[in-house]
Every structure is written in structure tokens, then in C-alpha cells.
């Protein structure tokens, strides 16, 4: 509940209004029960001849008018209370989503891997929706409960104190049933949250990898996984739904049995002349207020486990401290150069895992192209992710212009870098919005220049709408080579001082690759280029080649040097040249 208190604090005025509307609604109900008792007693007195027909009609008209006013007041209080409760619930859920997004943007890849993307999606959607619905129920249904119970008890004591024990019996029976059911419901809601995460993950994997599933004829296998996950979730939901279905009928059965008890005891009292019929009517109304308040509280309480679980999962995200934090800050404009220096850098993904890269030391100089080659899984991509601090080095230091990257502000550090990841990803939008993703205010000339440099202009001009051509999420409606070139263009629009290309030409044909190499060469005057690639056209013309194997550097030099002295490099050349 601390989470709700944190996010509802700025809506104090609205919450006070909601409380006042709830109190007003209960007060109107109490008045209404009293008027019903008076009408009943007046009717019996008129039938017994104790009051005249004129007196009865006069009282009836006045009472009817008063009850009409009360009904209008109850309706107004209910509508206004529901309206403001809905506004608070929706605004709070919006605030939680925004805060979760902001927090997520501060996470390193480690935190995202720990929580997992499918779970994060579920937390930002389903869990927040559960909290929104729970808050609305609390404000509209649970908030009036204490007022209903207290008001009902006061009414009971006012009319017939001798039967107050029936109210105590009702409270005990309803509360006992609620505790029994909530103990069974809580584990089920916890299991449902886990199973929903799992089903979300399996479904997302199937949708993302649908082409591979079809190519390998594994649609049935993935369909079985989804069906199994759905079946597990369905069984848990059925068990939870059964508990919810049983609760209200059982509680209303208790209410009706107690009403019979009141009528039996009250009827005997009326026959003895110690109680009026109107008093029995009022007592039943007040008893109904107490038990209905308890039932309303129980209905909300039965929904609370999923709300509490959702809040716990949201709080886990909000309370997670990023492993990578902002540095103290340094004046990046005062950097003497943008050389990238690795000094004895080692990295592992977790404390239990072994080092992925070990004792890496080399310098990528400004105005030069440094190419990193090596066997698959040797740590090349991991090394590139350490420069913009997507991960932090476990040991050693990475410097830019002589300054430790951990001392820089993250946004300032990343503003220096144009990073093209190994997996090219485009966002839904048009071609221009993807190229200008880092700066929406960029001029058309700069967008065009980035497209020219990345060798994208030819296929963009071939599109019917040019730069306005629509790109589907992930770039699924363009080829792999086009995706790579557009992501390179996106990196170039920011005029980076450091350009990191992680195997970003693998889908390009030979001619386009050569043009891209020459284009990058043409802008290298004040840029540090680090290229992870196995392509000979880039390797041969590199100013520096770093050869890696199994997480370690085996050699550093130029093409002609390594061709003679490094066996691993010779093997790479042979695999590329076929000789």
C-alpha cells in the first residue's frame, strides 16, 4: 500500500472530496432507513385508527418528499464519488506507467535480462491495470464500508439494543468466511502472475520467430507450448473464479438466514408489545447495511491479492537500483581527442559466470579505423557494449580522450557515440523518422547526407514515397541489408565522434560494402571508427586490426603484418578467401 500512498499523495484534495461523498451517501442511507421505519409505523397506526386518514396522508406526502430528496442526494453522491474515483485511478495508473518507463530507461542490459522483457511488458500493462482497478474498487466500494458498518451499528443500537448480538454474529460469520476464502485465493493469484509471464514469453517467442518455426516445420511444437501454458493459466483462473463465485452467494445466504432470525425474534416481540413492526423493518435495514458493508469489503478484499501481487511486481521494478549510474560529469568539450582506450578490461555477466573477455588492452585512435575480428562467441559484441556503458567492465578501465567513461554523464557519453548493434532494429514510422530518430529536429539535408553515406539513398529513391515510406515495427517490411544501412544512417545523423559498427555490413553485397567503406573513410578525419567485421574489404584497409579468440586478444597490427605473423588471422583470411 506504500506504493499507492506514494502515487496518490498529489491527489489529496480529490481524495478528501471522495471521502465526503462516501460519508454523505451513508448518512443518506441512515436517514432513509429511519423514514422507512416511520412510514411503516404510521401505516399500522392508521390501520388501527390511532391517527386519522388526513394525518396519515399528510405524513406520507412529507415523508415521500423527504425520501425523494434523500434518493437524489444518494444518487448525486454516488455519481460524483464514482467519477472522481475513476479520475484518480486513471491518473495514478498513468503516473505509475510513466515512472516505470523512466526507471526502465535507466536500466542496464543486466537489469533487463534479470527482469526479462516479457515480464516487463506484463508489469507495465496487466499489473498496472490490476492496480488501477483495485484503486477504483477501494475508493468506490471499500471506502464506504467502515461508514456503513459504523452507521448500521449506531442505527441498531438506536432502535433495538437487545438484538445487537445478531449483528455481532453476522460480523463473525462473514469475516470468518472471508478469511477462509482469501487464504485459498492468495496463492492462486501469485501463481497466475507467474503463469501469465510464462505464457507472454512463449507467445512473444512464437510471434517473433514465426518464420523460423515455419522453415523448420515446428509450428505444432510451439502451438503445444502455448496450449500448455494457456491450459495451466485456465485451470488456475478457474480455481480462482470458483472462490469468487462461491463467496457472494454464501454471504447473502448468511444475510437471509439472519433476516429470518430477526423476523422470528422480532415477531415474538411485536406480539408481546415490546417492539413495533417499524422497528423490525429499521433493524433489518440497518443489519443489511452492516452485512452489505462486510460483503462489499469482502468482494474488494478478494480482488486485493492480485492487486497486492501487481504492486509488488511494480515495486520490484521501481526499487531496482541500476548497476550503471551517472558519473560525476566531465567537460566532454574539453577532451583532447576521442581515442578509445581499453586497459586490462575484463567482463562477466554475473558473479557466478566466468569472464567473457579477459585482460583486453588496445587503443582505437581518432581518425583511424580499428577493425576487430575473431571467431564467433569470442566477445567482440560484448566489448562494443562496454564503450557506451550498456554494461560496465568488471575489471579494468575504458577511457575516451583519457577520461574514464564511468566518470562521464551517461547522456554526454552516449552523445559522443554512434552505435550500430549487431541486430539491426527499426521503429514503426517512416524512413525519415527512423534516420532522424536521435534528433527529430534535424534538417532534411542532414538526413539525406546520412542516407548517402550509408548507401541507403538508392533504395530510398526507388520507394514510391521516398523518405515518407512506412517502416513496420522492427523493419520487417525491408530487407536485412536495407535495415543495416538505415541503422548506420541513424547513427551518422548525430555527427558522432565515435562510430561503432558491430558486424553491420554482414547483409550487404560486395559492391555496396565497398561503397560503404569508402564513405566511412571520407568522414574519418575527426571520428574514431571501430568496426567488428570479417569482411576482407574492411580488414585489408584497416589502420589497426585486433584479433580475438575465446575472450582474449591474440594479436594487434595491420593486415600485412598479421598476415605473416598470426596463425588465427591467417585462418580467418583463408575462411574468407577460400584459400
H helix and E strand count, the chain: 21, 12
Instruction: Identify which of 228, 168, 165, 223 has the alpha carbon closest to the alpha carbon of residue 198.
Output: 228
Which residue, 164, 89, 96, 103, is CA-closest to 133?
A: 89
Q: What is the mean pLDDT of residues 505-517?
A: 84
| Portion of the chain with pLDDT greater than 90, in percent | 27
pLDDT of residue 435: 92
d(CA 275, CA 281): 11
pLDDT recorded at residue 174: 82
Kindly report, residue by residue over 269-279, the tens digit of the pLDDT: 777 777 777 67
Lowest mean pLDDT among 287-291, 458-462, 497-501: 287-291
Average pLDDT over residues 174-178: 83
Q: Is 506 helix (H, G, I), strand (E, B) or coil?
A: coil
**Is pLDDT of 579 > 50?**
no
* Mean pLDDT score, 547-561: 91
Per-residue model confidence as pLDDT tens digits over 227-265: 888 899 888 888 888 887 887 788 888 878 887 887 888
Instruction: Enumerate the H helices of 141-218 as residue ranges.
Output: 144-159, 164-208, 210-215
Question: Is residue 75 pLDDT above 50, yes or no?
Answer: yes
* Average pLDDT over all residues of the chain: 85
Q: Hey, how many other C-beta atoms are within 10 angstroms of the C-beta on 458?
A: 12
Mean pLDDT of 121-133: 88
pLDDT of residue 577: 65
Question: pLDDT at residue 66 above 60?
Answer: yes
**Mean pLDDT of the region 305-312:** 83
Average pLDDT over residues 533-561: 87
Give which of 74, 81, 75, 79 is closest to 143, Cα–Cα.
Answer: 81
Query: Which pLDDT belongs to residue 212?
Result: 76
Which residue has cell 583486453?
360
Distance CA 393, CA 411 (A): 18
pLDDT, position 554: 92
Candidate ranges 138-152, 184-198, 324-338, 392-406; pick with highest mean pLDDT: 392-406
Q: What is the average per-residue pLDDT within 70-76?
A: 89
C-alpha cell at 421: 548493434
Domains of the chain: 2-319 (1.20.1560.10), 329-416+496-579 (3.40.50.300), 423-495 (3.40.50.300)
Contacts with 540 (C-beta within 8 Å, 6 or more apart), sequence order? 559
Spell out the alpha helix ranges (H) of 273-379.
277-319
Contacts of 145 (CB under 8 A, 6+ apart): 293, 294, 296, 297, 300
Q: How, if at all, do strands 340-347 and 357-364 pair?
A: antiparallel
pLDDT grade for 1, boundaries at 50, 70 and 90? low
In this predicted model, which residue has the larger pLDDT, 429 or 216?
429
- What string of H, E and C letters represents the secondary structure of 379-401? CHHHHHHHCCCCCCCCEEEEEEC
Residue 490: the pLDDT is: 92
Do the beta carbons of residue 510 and residue 537 sit within 8 Å?
yes
Per-residue DSSP letter, 138: I
Name the more confident of 482 and 45. 482
pLDDT value at 36 more than 60: yes
Amino acid at each position: 500500500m506504500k506504493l499507492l500512498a506514494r502515487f496518490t499523495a498529489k491527489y489529496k484534495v480529490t481524495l478528501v472530496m471522495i471521502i465526503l461523498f462516501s460519508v454523505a451517501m451513508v448518512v443518506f442511507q441512515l436517514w432513509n432507513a429511519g423514514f422507512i421505519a416511520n412510514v411503516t409505523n404510521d401505516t399500522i397506526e392508521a390501520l388501527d385508527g390511532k391517527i386519522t386518514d388526513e394525518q396519515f396522508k399528510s405524513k406520507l406526502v412529507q415523508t415521500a418528499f423527504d425520501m425523494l430528496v434523500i434518493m437524489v442526494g444518494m444518487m448525486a453522491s454516488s455519481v460524483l464519488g464514482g467519477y472522481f474515483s475513476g479520475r484518480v485511478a486513471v491518473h495514478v495508473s498513468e503516473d505509475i506507467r510513466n515512472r516505470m518507463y523512466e526507471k526502465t530507461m535507466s536500466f542496464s542490459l543486466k537489469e533487463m535480462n534479470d527482469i526479462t522483457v516479457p515480464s516487463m511488458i506484463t508489469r507495465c500493462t496487466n499489473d498496472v491495470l490490476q492496480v488501477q482497478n483495485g484503486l477504483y474498487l477501494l475508493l468506490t466500494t471499500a471506502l464506504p464500508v467502515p461508514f456503513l458498518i459504523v452507521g448500521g451499528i449506531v442505527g441498531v443500537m438506536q432502535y433495538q439494543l437487545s438484538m445487537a448480538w445478531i449483528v455481532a454474529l453476522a460480523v463473525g460469520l462473514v469475516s470468518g468466511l472471508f478469511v477462509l476464502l482469501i487464504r485459498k485465493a492468495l496463492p492462486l493469484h501469485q501463481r497466475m502472475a507467474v503463469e501469465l509471464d510464462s505464457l507472454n514469453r512463449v507467445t512473444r517467442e512464437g510471434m517473433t520467430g514465426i518464420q523460423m518455426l515455419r522453415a523448420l516445420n515446428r509450428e505444432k511444437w510451439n502451438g503445444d507450448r502455448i496450449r500448455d501454458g494457456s491450459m495451466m493459466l485456465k485451470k488456475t483462473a478457474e480455481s480462482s473464479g470458483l472462490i469468487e463465485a462461491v463467496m457472494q452467494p454464501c454471504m447473502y445466504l448468511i444475510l437471509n438466514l439472519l433476516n429470518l432470525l430477526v423476523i422470528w425474534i422480532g415477531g415474538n416481540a411485536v406480539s408481546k408489545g415490546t417492539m413495533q413492526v417499524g422497528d423490525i423493518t429499521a433493524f433489518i435495514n440497518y443489519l443489511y447495511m452492516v452485512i452489505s458493508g462486510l460483503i462489499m469489503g469482502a468482494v474488494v478484499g478478494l480482488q486485493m491479492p492480485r492487486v497486492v501481487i501487481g504492486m509488488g511486481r511494480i515495486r520490484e521494478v521501481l526499487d531496482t537500483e541500476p548497476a550503471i549510474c551517472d558519473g560525476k560529469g566531465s567537460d566532454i568539450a574539453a577532451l583532447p581527442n576521442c581515442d578509445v582506450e581499453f586497459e586490462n578490461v575484463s567482463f562477466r555477466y554475473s558473479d557466478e559466470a566466468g569472464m567473457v573477455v579477459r585482460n583486453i588492452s588496445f587503443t582505437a585512435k581518432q581518425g583511424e579505423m580499428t577493425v576487430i575480428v575473431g571467431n564467433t562467441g569470442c566477445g567482440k559484441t560484448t566489448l562494443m557494449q562496454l564503450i557506451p556503458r550498456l554494461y560496465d567492465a568488471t575489471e579494468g578501465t575504458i577511457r575516451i580522450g583519457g577520461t574514464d567513461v564511468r566518470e562521464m554523464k551517461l547522456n554526454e557519453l552516449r552523445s559522443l557515440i554512434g552505435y550500430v548493434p549487431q541486430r539491426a532494429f527499426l521503429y514503426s514510422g517512416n524512413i525519415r523518422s527512423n534516420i532522424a530518430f536521435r534528433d527529430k529536429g534535424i534538417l532534411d539535408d542532414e538526413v539525406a547526407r546520412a542516407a548517402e553515406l550509408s548507401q541507403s539513398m538508392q533504395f530510398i529513391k526507388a520507394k514510391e514515397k521516398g523518405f515518407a515510406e512506412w517502416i513496420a515495427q522492427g523493419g520487417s517490411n525491408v530487407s536485412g541489408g536495407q535495415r543495416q544501412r538505415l541503422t548506420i544512417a541513424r547513427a551518422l545523423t548525430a555527427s558522432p565522434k565515435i562510430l561503432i559498427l558491430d558486424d553491420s555490413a554482414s547483409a550487404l553485397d560486395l559492391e555496396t560494402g565497398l561503397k560503404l567503406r569508402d564513405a566511412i573513410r571520407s568522414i574519418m578525419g575527426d571520428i574514431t571508427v571501430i568496426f567488428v567485421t570479417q569482411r576482407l574489404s574492411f580488414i585489408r584497409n584497416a589502420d589497426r586490426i585486433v584479433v580475438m579468440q575465446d575472450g582474449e586478444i591474440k594479436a594487434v597490427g595491420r593486415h600485412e603484418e598479421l598476415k605473416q605473423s598470426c596463425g588465427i588471422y591467417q585462418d580467418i583470411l583463408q575462411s574468407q578467401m577460400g584459400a
